[in-house]
Structure 1
Amino acid sequence: MLQLFKKWDVFLQSTLGFFCLSTFLIWLKTYIAYQTDFSLGAQGLLQQFLLILNPIGSTLLLLGIALYFRGRIAYWLMMIVNLLASMWLFANVLYYREFSDFLSVAIIGSTSSVGNNLGKSLGGIIDPADFLIFADILILLLLLLFKVIKIDKRKIKKRFAMLITALGCALMLADFGMANADRSGLLTRTFDNNYIVKYLGLNEYLTFNIFQTHKQQASRSAASAKDLKPILKFIKSHQAADNVDYFGKAKDKNVFIFHLESFQQFMLNYKWDGQEVTPNLNKFYKNKNTISFSNFYNQVGQGKTSDAETMLENSLYGLSSGSAMVNYGTSNTFQAAPAILSQRGYTTAAFHGDVASFWNRDNTYKSWGYNYFFSKSFYPNAEKANYNVGYGMKDKIFLRDSAKYIEELPQPFYAKIITVTNHYPYDLDKANQSIKAFNTGDKTVDGYVQTARYLDQAFGEFITWLKKAGLYKNSMIVLYGDHYGISNNHRPAIAKLLHKATITNYDLAQFQKVPFMIHLNGVKGGIKKTYGGEIDVLPTLLDLLGIKDDDYVQFGTDMLSKQHVQIVPFRDGNFVAQDITKYGNQYYLTKTGQEIDPTDSKYRKRIGTIQDYVDKSLEYSDKVMTGDLLRFYQPKNFKKVNKKAISYKPSISNASLKKDLITQPSSILAQNHEKSVAALYKTDAPELKTTSK
């Protein structure tokens, strides 16, 4: 045994020995992360073997660069490669913990638009144990500094270095061959980054994502009008006829789109600590004039809220990587809801209590045709520290201060109001807490009930003001949840919240439900069981507004139509249909949750039909976005948005609103002889009480 240790010590004193040790340590921490920090869903011996194999090839290839050098340079190059690999692993562990996905080039590139709020979120995600990813680097550094491992100044033969490079490439090719055999079309048909990492590896995923991003950028310059032909044919073949019972019921009504940040369907009618968590939303959900949907799902990808907005206002999917608003919002041509309505006499406005650049909204909203964008710079008290939490102004204060601008909008108007307080990390000061935290034992989850209650209270105050201001009866009020608040990585906590012993992939699919409600005075409401998602919102609203949308490029269908396509594609290629659900590569009967075999002849054809629809929807929508194909297409009665004519500077917007009081005296303020109704807004926000005192 002693002899063995001596031989090992001699080996470690060589460049090759240090290389092998470094390779092993990088492989080990990557494999541990695969098994403990990521939910890759590896099944069977082959997939488990690939998890072991896939970190080795790229590690040999990258570390092998050092073998072309000698002495200190070789050792330091190996340390730098280890550090870079560790930083990439560390960043993905943190990102995956909250978003169940891997970092992309686009997300990294978009940090300037979201970075002002990112620090606090990461602070809540980081676990001290995460820093163990860097432990081996520190140990190796100390071993070198204290000369326990001495630097070998001998030169590695170039032939041997080339052999290591070739071995790394060979292992990567072998990995890809086995992976592609197990999942055909891995790099051409998959929409799920988990598959790329599971089969090929984290470094290979980065390479693929760089290639994918470049390909997306190149596709715009290569795109032409003919690329739209199969897309238009696909859309026409799935269009749903308008529902005559609803068509035009909201014609010329004001439209409020109330954005329920991170709010999930399971919270409706949920009781905690002997109380209804969301009594105001529950009442609205069951109102006789509210059309509510109990099987409505979020369909976001990495773009999260920005994906939800993209689907809501364009009926186009977000991208498989990054945010479409960040990457294409400035340059692309859109035919979005604000532009459609503004060309029909509507005033269109978006309200958001954070900086205008967040998710590139200041540029994207111009492309979408918004007349006004009231961001943080419009709110005089927005910079007060106690008025803000996480991603912007607290909802109660933000909504109260938005009343001033709402009353000035010429009617009819389309107003999207984005709440933010119910956003991760679900922090809320004690003065605003009105219900105790969950006791799941998961600190990420436990505060969710308190911010959800706060959101509900803020919504209740807003509805009360709409009634006082005379806007409630003359408006269509739409509520939707943008995405999940609790990610799939919190399974034990989810099980406790849903009162289940264990959580299956079917449960996680159902956990993607978010609210979708449409309130319209005089319309018969009710809770509909129709299956749909955020991609279907725009066609549904246009039906109610009496606007024909047959000529528009939309990938959703009207949820009120009897011909509505009841298939909900998820961004990763999974789906929920009215009969079959696919989630995490497992298949279930949607109504019962019973797992089924996809190769069973009873289900195989139907699954193939659904999957084909899902894949084509995502693929064609991506082509529209990445190729900017709408620049080649103009629907009837639609004019291309003139972005140069739009400005969101407070001075220009305020001057325009004052001018509208005279030229378009249809606002609530004008109808009330310029007597403000904003003062009728009542809130119990403790910050404002303190200020008044």
Structure 2
Amino acid sequence: MGFGRRLLSASYVWFTVLLLAKMALLRYLCFGEVAWTRLGSDAAAVAVLTSLTALVLPGRGQTAAYWLLNAVVSTILFASTIYFAHFGSMPIYTALLELNQVPQVQASVQSTMDPMFYLFFADLPVLALLGLLLRRGSRTVSDYSPSYRRGLAAVALVACAGIAAAGIRQGLAIDNELAAAEKQGFLGYQVIAAIKAGRESRMASAADLSQTVGEIKSLQAAYPYRAPGRAAAAPAHSGEAKGMNLIVLQLEAFQNFPIHLKIGGQEVTPVLNELADGAYYFPRVYQQIGQGNTSDAEFMSNTSIYPTAKIAMSTGYGDRALPSLPRLLQRSGYKAYTFHVNDVKFWDRNRLYPALNFDRYFDKPYYNNDHFNDFGASDEELYRFGIEELAKTSEEGTPFYAQFVTASSHFPFKVPADRQRLQVPEGLQDTQLGDYLIAVNYTDYAIGQLIEGLRSKGMWENTVLAVYGDHYGLQPDDNDPAWVSEALGIKYDSRVSRLNIPFIVRVPNQQGGVRVERTGGQLDMMPTIANLLGVKPGDAGIVPFGQDLLNVDRNIVGSRYYLPTGSFFNDEVLYMPGTGFDDGTAISLATLEPVKDLSPYRGDYDYIMKLMGLSDRYVRLLPKR
């Protein structure tokens, strides 16, 4: 009898056990524990794979198929663990569509690697040795007839599929993605994600766009964003910058805590400090990005639509004619441009920008590469070129909207020595926090160069400048909140402070700065800017899911990627669900301390879940271009 036939049943057992061990390893690396009581879900799912292999390939090719299955699953778990370490979220199968992005952020990926991740491949030499030993093995079930062996495989497949299906049914009721992944295991979570995606797709295909818009407006009208006496009043600050140019700076990995922070007597962000003191400054704004990260921030700030968190919006919805800020301003004669030093194909921006209807985009080939970091050109070069282009439009008498997406403060925050301007204390040197502050300080300096360039071209006094961060910078696993708090002399929370980003809007000739304490998110930026420019989103068919932060008395913003689905910030707390609402947690935004009584926030939870669901349906129904 050949080696493959004798090893058949042994292969089934060994590879099933081996893959289960790797599922346990993923649990340990991602969730900090193995949770043995939950390995039953992993065992059932793994046994489905190996039983299906045994059923489909009962002959000599079975062992080779097990080796291939092992290699594929190992690679997926390895990549998923890296993804989790970098983003703090468990990836679903749609993340495979973004694998082409990895070479662009190679330094970021390498910096999150842990040698333990390679344990997913440690079995290769062990299995080779085991194969040699098993050549001397005794009689096994593989000596039985092929039909008998297929029968055993079929019985195992049906039994394990039934167990896995029961767990998946339970997991479908859990909106918290991390809770579902931890409870049902990696493979079960992928099935849950696929089933939910199928349900949402069927619901969207059966829906009507105009009907959905009506549901959105009805739901939003029922939420008390405005006090009764203010609801019918004309918007405050409307048209303060009517007809002016607009520049929006999306700052890479820029959190809010460096604003007005001093290190060793040095201001970390002197330019932004001065800007904030004379502008509308919103210190309680939070990131809401999904799987597309930076590109999702661009999507939100221009559309005021929630990312689905199932796929990068540039990839999944770049074929749509998106209602957007460029389209709104083009109705008033504006030209809309976007500037980024990276290749426009990164995050499928070559699809996103036409979907948003920018008139032109300027990507990597337009800049002199001064080799600042892995992306190439520095923020200074980005702004230098941008000013030259905008000056041409300004000289024609045409107003413009220009979006700049910066990259100099990208993780892992390595600024060339000759560009460093901030001297961090010895205790922060060669730490991620110290590197981050140096990178943020450089980003701030470059903004100063942009302002000077606008002044020299005579554009500064006719230009609204909006600045915001796309997402957090400090990696939670590398920056203990207690240490950050002690090192900086501030109170830092790994969730609230980490997701808190700056939003500043400077209007020329503004009489003094205004600090707006209203809670907000990236969805709120477009409606707020539109009001200042005196344009109405509805005129361009825009249905905003965010609010004008200068004209609400209460606000709520949802989040569902770096936080579990159902999480939200309102004016009081950050709330995060568990397996449902009742076992969730809340943190006070004012004190950064836990809040025990969750009952006041049940209505906000129900509202934000409905609103995000309608947003998903709405974007799916938008016409293709």
TM-score range, shorter chain: 0.7 to 0.9
* Distance in 1, Cα, partners of 2:134 & 2:173: 50
Matched, 1:250 2:235: no
| CA gap 1:442/1:586 in 2 versus in 1, 3 angstroms | farther
* Amino acid in structure 2 at the alignment position of 1:84: V
Matched, 1:231 2:216: yes
Q: What does residue range 362-377 of structure 1 map to in structure 2 within 5 Å? A: 362-377=350-365
| CA gap 1:390/1:368 in 2 versus in 1, 3 angstroms | same
* More moved, 582-591 vs 162-171: 582-591
Cα deviation, residue 541, structure 1: 0.8
Check conservation: 2:54, 2:62, Cα contact below 8 A. yes
Cα deviation, residue 418, structure 1: 1.0
**1:353 alignment counterpart:** 341
**2:384 alignment counterpart:** 400
* Amino acid in structure 2 at the alignment position of 1:578: D
Pairing partner for 1:460 from 448, 455, 458: 448
Structure 2's unaligned 5+ residue stretches are: 1-5, 578-583
Matched, 1:207 2:191: yes
Cα deviation, residue 98, structure 1: 0.9
* Distance in 1, Cα, partners of 2:590 & 2:31: 29
* Distance in 2, Cα, partners of 1:514 & 1:430: 27
| CA gap 1:505/1:596 in 2 versus in 1, 3 angstroms | farther
* Distance in 1, Cα, partners of 2:46 & 2:428: 39
Matched, 1:556 2:546: yes
TM-score, normalised relative to structure 1: 0.78
**1:596 alignment counterpart:** 595
Check conservation: 1:296, 1:533, Cα contact below 8 A. yes
* Distance in 2, Cα, partners of 1:227 & 1:559: 24
* Amino acid in structure 1 at the alignment position of 2:323: Q
Pairing partner for 2:438 from 434, 441, 450: 450
Check conservation: 2:329, 2:535, Cα contact below 8 A. no
CA deviations 1:552-571 (Å, max 9, x no partner) are 311011100144x4112112
| CA gap 1:138/1:528 in 2 versus in 1, 3 angstroms | same
CA deviations 1:553-612 (Å, max 9, x no partner) are 11011100144x4112112321111123213631233333342345xxxx42x3111101
Matched, 1:105 2:81: no
SS of the aligned residue for 1:230 comes to helix
Q: What does residue range 660-675 of structure 1 map to in structure 2 within 5 Å? A: none
CA deviations 1:450-509 (Å, max 9, x no partner) are 2212211111111122222222221111000011112434352x43222289x9996412
**1:616 alignment counterpart:** 610
User: Percent identity, aligned pairs only?
Assistant: 24
**1:673 alignment counterpart:** none
* Distance in 2, Cα, partners of 1:274 & 1:63: 62
| CA gap 1:413/1:125 in 2 versus in 1, 3 angstroms | same
**2:619 alignment counterpart:** 625
* Distance in 1, Cα, partners of 2:78 & 2:551: 47
Cα deviation, residue 196, structure 1: 2.5
**1:574 alignment counterpart:** 567
| CA gap 1:100/1:473 in 2 versus in 1, 3 angstroms | same
Cα deviation, residue 356, structure 1: 1.8
Check conservation: 2:466, 2:503, Cα contact below 8 A. yes
* Distance in 2, Cα, partners of 1:208 & 1:259: 34
Check conservation: 2:557, 2:568, Cα contact below 8 A. yes
TM-score, normalised relative to structure 2: 0.86
Q: What does residue range 259-274 of structure 1 map to in structure 2 within 5 Å? A: 259-274=250-265
Cα deviation, residue 427, structure 1: 2.6
Check conservation: 1:440, 1:497, Cα contact below 8 A. no
SS of the aligned residue for 1:424 comes to coil
Check conservation: 1:269, 1:282, Cα contact below 8 A. yes
Check conservation: 1:258, 1:418, Cα contact below 8 A. yes
* Distance in 1, Cα, partners of 2:268 & 2:60: 62
SS of the aligned residue for 1:141 comes to helix
| CA gap 1:39/1:475 in 2 versus in 1, 3 angstroms | farther
Aligned length: 589
| CA gap 1:437/1:64 in 2 versus in 1, 3 angstroms | farther
SS of the aligned residue for 2:499 comes to coil
* More moved, 386-395 vs 607-616: 386-395
Pairing partner for 2:160 from 168, 172, 175: 168
**2:581 alignment counterpart:** none
CA deviations 1:87-111 (Å, max 9, x no partner) are 1110111011111112233332134
Q: What does residue range 259-298 of structure 1 map to in structure 2 within 5 Å? A: 259-286=250-277, 288=278, 290-298=279-287
* Distance in 1, Cα, partners of 2:130 & 2:424: 47
Cα deviation, residue 148, structure 1: 6.4
Matched, 1:120 2:107: yes
**1:657 alignment counterpart:** none
Pairing partner for 2:507 from 513, 520, 524: 520
CA deviations 1:332-358 (Å, max 9, x no partner) are 122100110011111211111111222
* Distance in 1, Cα, partners of 2:566 & 2:376: 33
Structure 1's unaligned 5+ residue stretches are: 1-12, 43-47, 632-642, 644-693
**2:417 alignment counterpart:** 430
* Distance in 2, Cα, partners of 1:437 & 1:72: 64
SS of the aligned residue for 2:323 comes to coil
Check conservation: 2:343, 2:363, Cα contact below 8 A. yes
SS of the aligned residue for 1:622 comes to helix
Matched, 1:378 2:394: no
SS of the aligned residue for 1:293 comes to strand
Pairing partner for 2:472 from 474, 481, 484: 484
* Distance in 2, Cα, partners of 1:596 & 1:99: 26
* Distance in 1, Cα, partners of 2:431 & 2:200: 38
* Distance in 2, Cα, partners of 1:166 & 1:445: 52
| CA gap 1:351/1:14 in 2 versus in 1, 3 angstroms | closer
* Distance in 2, Cα, partners of 1:293 & 1:513: 10
Cα deviation, residue 296, structure 1: 0.7
Cα deviation, residue 218, structure 1: 5.8
| CA gap 1:213/1:421 in 2 versus in 1, 3 angstroms | farther
Q: What does residue range 177-196 of structure 1 map to in structure 2 within 5 Å? A: 179-180=170-171, 185-186=173-174, 190=175, 192-196=176-180
Cα deviation, residue 24, structure 1: 2.5
CA deviations 1:289-341 (Å, max 9, x no partner) are x1101111111121111111111111101112111111111x21221001100
Check conservation: 2:104, 2:346, Cα contact below 8 A. no
* Distance in 1, Cα, partners of 2:129 & 2:165: 36
* Amino acid in structure 2 at the alignment position of 1:253: M
* Distance in 2, Cα, partners of 1:612 & 1:212: 19
Check conservation: 1:38, 1:93, Cα contact below 8 A. no
